[in-house]
Each structure stands twice: as structure tokens, then as C-alpha cells.
Structure 1
């Protein structure tokens, strides 16, 4: 155990008589350092035992943007489906005022993980039901236009790849520009140009994406009936390692245990976009997708469902 840094204590607004310690034993991550804050906070009757999860990174501006994206992603999911993921509680520079801040932190509610993912088809705490609820809840309107648009208020990161998430009225334009072409540009910046790769990605972005995801087509039957698609919050990095059975504890409120998700890279997008990573990395069997699609029917044209999921795997 070690003392909790003062900037974190200030951000959490602990009363002065609180006691808190930080444990990092056995914890780690590819891009950040992680730990658990144990706190004793004066309550109305006696002392409340609290627990928090904390991440830190010394990657300067990249760390600041990464934690902002994760914070907004967590809170977007939690706002739509309470208890489905931990809420972000505080973030900021870890360095003392007056120094050139390189280290940043993110504090979230604590997830106590362990057990088996929900198996019951009728249990509303299973991943299928909670994800289905997330994907049937319309994203909030863009405050600047009042319209529900595809994008996200801040950039997010998938691994260490930055995703700008600029808003678009068209889902096809968002997927082509903010995902395929953005990742192509990142690849060329890091690895150098590759003419064959650029040709393949541009052909996909300019021909395949409009064909499968274009306005007036996605969300409509072959006879032209439908209403298009409405943006919803998608986790954005939902592979089996980012989902488990668990419960939010030490938050001062009683959350229902069930299947939970974490480490999101969210955006407001097409619900089926979520399924690309889920299919690609595995861990979610036919039974899960059967349960999920009872809640979130496959988007029209249903005959192109498999093509769309393969496109989203890119």
C-alpha cells in the first residue's frame, strides 16, 4: 500500500478526515499503470468503505486524450444502461501545479469481477440483454444541431490508435472517413506508404461502404420500406476480454450484479458495428447472438447482414 497522490484526492473531494491508500500489486496494462484505491470516508453513520479503480499514464497529451475518451465512453454507456459498466469519476494531471504535466490519471468505480457470464435467456442482467438495451437506446442529440448524428464528442483510442470521431449525418461517411481512412493514414504514418493497401482501402471506402451502408439503403427492405438507422452508443472494442460477470462495489450504492463491460472506445453508430469485433475475436457463440437478435433485430436488408459484419471487421 502507498499514499494516494494529492491530485487524485482533491479530484475525488474526500473529506479531510478520510483515510485512503493505493494498491498496485499484481495489476498492469499494456498502455497504462493501474491500481485500486481503498478509502475510509466519513458517512452519516460511521465510516463508509469505498473502492475505486485508477489508471495512470505518463504519455503526456496522448494520455490526456486517451483518458478523456475512455471517461466519456464509460459515462455514455452507464447513462444508457446503469450498472453495465463503471462510471468515470475523475481525471486530470497527476503532476503538481506549475509543472509541465506529462502524467495523467483516470479514476472509475470499482468492478469486482469473477464468475460465469449469464446463461439464462430471461435474465435481464445477461450480456445479450444489457447490450441489446444499449443498442435500442437512441444516442443523445448533437447539442450544436439538435440532430442525432454519427460520431462522438471527443476522440477515442482503440489500443493506441486514435479515432477522431468527427460528427457526420451519414453513417457511411463516418465509417469510411473516421475509421477506414483514418486508420490507413495512421498506418502510413507509422509504417510508410503501401500502394496496394491504399488502393484496397480506398476501393472499400468509396465503393463498398456506400453500396452496403449508404443513405436510403441501410435500414430499408428490398421494396424500399424502412426508416434508415438511428445512432446508438456502441462500446467500440467489445471482445471477450472486455466483458465479464461482475458488480460495481464500494461506490456507496447497491448495484445489481450481472454481465459487465469495460475499456470502451465508444461512438454513436450503427448497432451492428459492435458485432464486427465480437465476431472477429470470438468468445461469443451462436446462443449469444440468437438472444441478442431477439432484442435487436438484424438491420434491413437482412440478406446483407453477413457482408456488413465482415465489412465492420476491418
Structure 2
């Protein structure tokens, strides 16, 4: 594997360092090369190439947006020993602490960037001076499937956010029915789905480029700025990223205050936050088992009650 990696990177030096990392899904190793340090993620599962292709595309989109620092993606390779490899820039990170407020502000700017591009294009339609590099995304989805954990997400482009998000929940529930033969989530979801549009009354939701899995374990900082990594991006409602940000803690009040200074809370935010937490609870149930059943069912029951009031 290392000989193939050496050839693909075009480097005469490929030396493992003591630095590395990884999580519950993939292993990570840092290597010295002719061009400096790179970080290599490895996964030997049969679907690893799809997972890494999605992460690569996510990193490319976030890197181009240039609002929040991410590792620069380099290559995705099929591992001759099985699975796949994702190569990216190595960043010497530590846990997020002093840059929480900055991250909140930068994340909000990322989330509003596409809408601002749309406004600029609208203005330039009335002007003879136009910026041909502007690219507004007017649908919800992404060009490729991305994996939240190891579960792929169907990111087919959709005109309606409500429809797109409902499909994300539907996929999770279908998986629960298949893997666990559990009908409880389906029974409650069937009560929520017809009334779900009520949670978005009065909102003008424009597609925002999202990280997709923004929990505290996927953020860090350099000496001068925050960093986000391990994305599973798509274009969706900006509030979606705040769902899992509220799930495990790790983001302090400075993060949220600075985020909402840029993008103020909209009416009904707290209930929609539960709706977005639901995806991640179901996703964790599918990944890690029935220890997440109780909290998933609790959110579903809460949403049923909230919608009955409307």
C-alpha cells in the first residue's frame, strides 16, 4: 500500500510519523513527503471508496467556499490491500477552545454564502458588469452521495427542503425496520410527516452549504484559527448543522452567540432543532444499536405533541 501511495503522490519520501489519529470508523496516519506532511485515512470495508469519495467532494466544496478552514483534499485511492484511502493536508490541530466564538461566526458566514451569491447574481442581472464565476445553488442536495458515519445519504437534488429532509428521515427509518424489525419509529413518524411543513411556515429557506456532521469531535483549532473536518456535506437548511452541535455538548455559548449575531434565530427554531436532532439520533441508533432508541422515540413523541398544537 505504501509503495502505491508513494507513486500516486509523486514523492521520493514517504515516512510514517508518530502523529496520526482516527475514529471509530477509519484509521489515520501522518506521513512525511517531499511536499511536507500529509494525513492518510484508511478504511478496509467494501464501501470505503464511496465514503471517501463523498468526504473528498465535501472537503473540496468547503475548501473552495473559504469561510472555515478545512484540510485541503489531495486524493482518493483504492487500496490494493482492500478498501480505500483518502489523502489530505496534515494540520497540527488541538481541541477547540479559544476560537469557539470565531468558529460560530465563520460557520454562519459559510451558511449565508450561497444566499449572498444569489442576491449578487440578481443585482448583476440588471447591470452590464457581471461576474461569470458566481455559482448559485438553487436546490437541496449534493453532486455525490456522502456518508454520515458509514451510512450513505441519497443527496439527489430536490426543489423542496421539506421533501429532501423527509427523505433523509425516511431512509433512516427504513434501515431501522430492516436491521432491527422495529416499527415504533415508523408509527410516530407517520403522524409527523403530513404536518411537518407547519414547522417551516413563514421561512424563506435557501440552500446553504453544510458540514453535515458538526459535532465537537469534528472540530479543532490551529494556532490562529478554528478548523472543521470529517464532513458529509450537502446543500440544506442552515439550522441542520446546529442539530448535532447541540447533541454532545462541546460548543459553548460564545459559539452560538456569534453564530446568531450573523444569522439570527428564526421563529420556531427550538422545535426545528429537535427535528434536526432526530436525524442524528436515528443515525446513531442505526450505527450503534438500541441504546439510542429511547432518545430517538422521545424526540418523535415530542414532535407529535408540538404539531398537534398547531
Instruction: Give TM class, smaller chain.
Output: 0.7 to 0.9
Matching of residues 152-231 of structure 1 within 5 Å = 152-177=142-167, 179-192=168-181, 194-207=182-195, 209-213=196-200, 217-219=201-203, 228-231=204-207
Q: SS state of the match for residue 51, structure 1?
A: strand
Q: Identify which range, 76-85 or 235-244, moves more after superposition.
A: 76-85
Query: In 1, distance between residues paired with 2:34 and 2:26?
Result: 26
Deviation at 1:23, TM superposition (A): 3.7
Deviation at 1:195, TM superposition (A): 2.6
Deviation at 1:106, TM superposition (A): 0.3
Deviations 1:221-243 (A, max 9, x none): xxxxxxx1211111111111111
Is 2:7 the partner of 1:10?
yes
**Aligned residue for 1:150?**
140
Q: SS state of the match for residue 167, structure 1?
A: coil
Q: Is the 8 A contact 2:99 2:226 kept in 1?
A: no
* Counterpart among 279, 291, 298 of residue 265 in structure 2: 298
Q: SS state of the match for residue 280, structure 1?
A: coil
What is the number of equivalent residue pairs in this alignment?
A: 261
Q: Is the 8 A contact 2:42 2:83 kept in 1?
A: yes
For the aligned residues, what is the CA RMSD? 2.4
Is 2:67 the partner of 1:76?
no
Query: In 1, distance between residues paired with 2:82 and 2:99?
Result: 44
TM-score, L = length of structure 2: 0.77
Deviations 1:144-189 (A, max 9, x none): xx85110111111112222111111000000001x21011111122
Structure 2 portions without partners, runs of 5+: 119-135, 279-310
Is 2:74 the partner of 1:89?
yes
* Counterpart among 212, 220, 245 of residue 236 in structure 1: 212
Q: Which has the larger helix fraction?
A: 2
TM-score, L = length of structure 1: 0.76
**Aligned residue for 2:275?**
311
**Aligned residue for 1:110?**
90
Structure 1 portions without partners, runs of 5+: 42-49, 96-100, 220-227, 248-256
Matching of residues 30-45 of structure 1 within 5 Å = 30-41=24-35
Is 2:241 the partner of 1:274?
yes
